[in-house]
């Protein structure tokens, strides 16, 4: 529901829609709506009596939407900062590559121990990366490859309408004979515009 909500935190999903998107049974979807819209005295946040969602005119309002939106913004800023620092280090690596290495030896002529290289920073996907990965049941903790990140950067800005169309298209049940969807994330990213066109033209057999 967080992945499909609009910028106001409203999720336009019915019971059948949630069941299809989450690949669960209708009974499980009904139970999920009931649990999330009911008071919960065991949660740390007691705003709205612990309720997570409430029924509104066009779907369901996610009551903790602002909290998750701020977390997503922070994750995006961290990722942008990480990429910016990586580019800066790459541009300036040549300045130190040819430096005199005599300083690496101590007075006894023995080579000084070199500091260990820093480990790669923790992977922190953006909201768009998480939603695209979910199309292939990829865990948010799975780091994207360089080729996937490059392909995503080449796409440019991805609209909410395109993302929702892909989510509906890629979570729909369809026979193998008519299933032309991409099998992995990299192939989707490299054929993104064509897949968006297919997703927009797709008409599910059952409308939720």
Which residue carries 């612990």 as its tokens? Answer: 50
Residue with the bigger pLDDT between 193 and 8: it is 193
Q: For the chain, what are the domain ranges?
A: 1-67, 122-208
**Most confidently modeled of 103-112, 121-130, 151-160?**
151-160
Q: Are 185 and 132 in contact (CB under 8 A)?
A: yes
In Å, the largest CA–CA distance within the chain is: 79
SS3 (DSSP) at 105? strand
pLDDT of residue 115: 56
Whether the predicted pLDDT of 77 surpasses 90: no
* Domain boundaries 1-67, CATH class: mainly alpha
Summarised one tens digit per residue, pLDDT across range 168-208 is 889 888 888 888 899 999 999 999 999 999 999 988 765 44
HSE-CB for 148 with a 13 A CA cutoff: 15
pLDDT of residue 101: 52
Render 116-161 in DSSP notation, one character per residue: PPPPPPPP---HHHHHHHHTTT--TTSPPPHHHHHHHHHH----HH
Summarised one tens digit per residue, pLDDT across range 41-60 is 777 676 778 888 888 887 88
pTM here?
Answer: 0.44
Summarised one tens digit per residue, pLDDT across range 19-36 is 887 888 889 988 988 999
Q: Are 33 and 53 in contact (CB under 8 A)?
A: yes
SS3 (DSSP) at 51? coil
């Amino acid at each position: 529901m967080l992945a499909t909500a609009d910028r106001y935190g409203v999720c336009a999903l019915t019971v059948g829609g949630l069941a299809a998107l989450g690949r669960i049974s209708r009974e499980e979807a009904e139970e999920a709506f009931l649990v999330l819209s009911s008071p919960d005295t065991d949660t740390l946040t007691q705003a709205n009596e612990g309720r997570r969602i409430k029924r509104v005119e066009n779907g369901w309002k996610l009551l903790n939407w602002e909290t998750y939106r701020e977390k997503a913004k922070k994750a995006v800023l961290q990722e942008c900062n990480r990429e910016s620092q990586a580019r800066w280090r790459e541009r300036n690596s040549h300045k130190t590559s040819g430096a005199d290495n005599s300083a690496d030896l101590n007075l006894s002529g023995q080579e000084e121990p070199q500091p260990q290289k820093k480990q790669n920073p923790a992977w922190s996907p953006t909201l768009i990366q998480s939603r695209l990965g979910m199309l292939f049941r990829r865990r948010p903790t799975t780091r994207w490859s360089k080729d996937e990140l490059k392909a995503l950067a080449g796409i440019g800005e991805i609209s909410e309408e395109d993302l929702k169309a892909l989510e509906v298209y890629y979570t729909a049940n369809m026979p193998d004979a008519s299933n032309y969807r991409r099998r992995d994330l990299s192939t989707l990213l490299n054929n993104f515009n064509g897949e968006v066109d297919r997703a927009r033209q797709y008409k599910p057999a059952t409308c939720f």
